[in-house]
Structure 1
Amino acid sequence: MPTDQLSRTFSALADPTRRAILAHLAAGEATVGQLAEPFDMSFAAVSKHLRVLQSAGLVTRGRDAQYRPARLDARPLAAASGWITDFERFWGESLDSLGTYLTELQQSATVRADPARTEPKDRS
């Protein structure tokens, strides 16, 4: 079982049903019955998904008479987004480098294929 917050967040997000539940809760709080409507599953199954989301800190449960509406708590998503953004910068830089390398390879192949052709002049 994951112990750090980021691991719990990603573990909870790994399931498509839990992601759909979070998307539903992004529009506002909902009861287990309301969350179960779009799925072909029991209230107990939805409750299990909610428990996983609660343990990851993504959902809180309130009390309104006999109902316990669930609410989205997006704070753990912000931490996950920050972690992903760090790698997005890495991949952006890596892909830029790859693009430059591929352009150089194409220019080199063109010159080798037609030695009479010279590299285009920079018109900047």
Structure 2
Amino acid sequence: MLNAIKGLVNNLSPEDKKGMLDMFGIKMPKKAKDITNKLALAIKNQGGTGSVADIFKNAKSFYDDYNGIMNVPASNSPVALDHDQRSHNRALMEMQPIYSDPPPKIDESELAYKEIQNAFY
């Protein structure tokens, strides 16, 4: 199974390989062979069901969605994103929990009273 995934990974462009390693949080290896091995192992360890082609297709589809989210500049400018902006977008994507209702309101007078009380005690 791993060898079949390696064969499919070899067909990816270098940019896609680098992006998928980034998506899985894997540090970029120095050797090209190690890149293929680590990426194939990461895809295999995702625990997909079905054929190898289906597992790879699902991983590639997820990467395409991830890549689309990660490469949208916050200001919608055509400027390429730097690493900090990609990290910020990743943090926004991973924020938990997502509320279906708005968070509860905090009474500001009570909050101010507690701050004053904490300042003196």
TM above 0.5, one fold? no
TM-score, with normalisation over the residues of structure 2?
Answer: 0.28
Structure with larger Rg: 1
Per the normalisation by structure 1, the TM-score is 0.28
